[in-house]
Amino acid sequence: MARASEIRQRLIVAAERLFAENGIDGASLRQIAAAAGFANNSAVQYHFGSKDGLLDAVFRYRMNQMEEGRGELLAAAASRGLLGDVKTLLQIICLPHLGLVDENGRHPYARFLCQYLLRHRPPAIGWVPGTAVPDPPENLRRVQELLRERLFYLPAPIVARRLVTATIMYLSVLINHEAIGVDVAEGEGLDQALDDTIDQMVASLSLPRREAFPAA
């Protein structure tokens, strides 16, 4: 008999694939259980409580998988004296997504995460120090703290909001490349497109906040 941890993993992987293919609202718990190989339609409720619980489980499962890669990138950045460089910090956040591929070389988690970020404000992405939410994994939290130190002139909630928006920008380029098969700019490969996108992210994330105009 499969252990509970194995059952949870099978459900998470099946859910990620179906959410990526059919959309979060287009994949039912019954379909997810069947895709994971379970005849019992209550398997998801038993292990995750609800669809929202399953969504959070997919998010945290993949986020924890990227921790090791982010740790290696953090160590490399530290050795090069780049822990204060915004582009390097964004690369540490984004590049591990490239390794999350299925058996066909596609990135279902990127498709899932775009939807998830638009539907939720997950604590590990929009986390603001001092708020009563679960802390993100250590390496991701360290990158966020370094970003906020570098962007000290912006309120922390603004940095968090911009980081969510910037992450969606990066994932969208990856998804569009897979869907279309070619890049919009002639002669531009995926690596060049993603590097250019990170440059865009740096500019949008670092932009000083414009004060609101006084009411007329």
Give the per-residue pLDDT at 122: 54
CA torsion sign for 24, 29, 31, 37 is: positive
Q: What is the DSSP string of 120-151?
A: ---HHHH--TTSSSPPPPHHHHHHHHHHHHHT
Give the per-residue pLDDT at 205: 94
Give the per-residue pLDDT at 176: 86
75: exposed, middle or buried (C-beta count within 10 Å: 0-12, 13-18, 19+)?
exposed
Confidence of residue 210 (pLDDT cuts 50, 70, 90): confident
* Statement: residue 189 has pLDDT above 70: yes
Task: Give percent of the chain above pLDDT 90.
Answer: 54
Give the per-residue pLDDT at 129: 43
